[in-house]
A and B are shown apart, each in its own frame.
Chain A
Amino acid sequence: MTAPASPSARSLAGKYLTFVLAGEEYAFEILSVHEIIGILAVTPVPHSHPAIRGVINLRGKVIPIVDLRIRFGMPASDAPETSIVVLNVKGLLVGIAVDAVSEVRMMSDAEIEPPPAFGTDVDASCLLGVAKGDGKVRMLLDAERVLSLEAIRSAL
């Protein structure tokens, strides 16, 4: 097994949007976040990938909603989702339904550690690193990897 390319190659310090999913805290780099909207009615798309929950109308644009629980193989939860984080990955808009959006937080290099190879719900290749601070552990997600179609397909 080969380890993912060392993320220490570039500094990961910067602003992140943190959110809660299945009781854990995660974060996306703020630069990849397009906007945050409330939960909207999702139209399911038959025969699409199981991790694609469906599509929504974002002010006239049709954008897909990816279900991160399914994406990461987490168990279904009763906690109601409250928000959709719309990410902009290489110009494509993709929404992610989350339990709650927490805050925008500055993360310093000192807080960020490389991702552990084991012991997380999340596939290590989707992690930029793990930030520890305020007595919390936040997993920093690589938006591009999380939403890449190839990665989604191979994950399931």
Chain B
Amino acid sequence: MRFLVVDDSATMRRIIVNSLDRVGYPDVVEADDGQTALAKFAEGGISFIITDWNMPNMSGLDFARAVRARADGAAVPILMVTTRSAREDILAAVDAGVNNYVLKPFTPPVLKEKIDAVLSVGAAA
């Protein structure tokens, strides 16, 4: 299962990639902004996207919308990484087609729990 991790902070990407590795998902593709991420996604083979919310040029929400707008991006799970959770953020994330989000800081098990939650909902639908 290949993950696409999108974050402008290289340190954050490493944290996420390390966490994924620790919970059994070693196959990760990285991108440092939305445009690059879209190009990587277009190459195919991505089965899960983890993206930062606040990024320069293209926000995580815009990125999610762009993925959803693609024929091959309608179903791919998108997990958003963020630092705040307010009503408006939550609704905006849902509207953009984000499957779930996780708050920083998280531990690898929490990340796994979120991924599992997203996958189980997806499987049920």
Q: Check whether chain A touches chain B (CB < 8 angstroms).
A: no
Residues of B within 8 A of A (CB): none
Residues of A within 8 A of B (CB): none
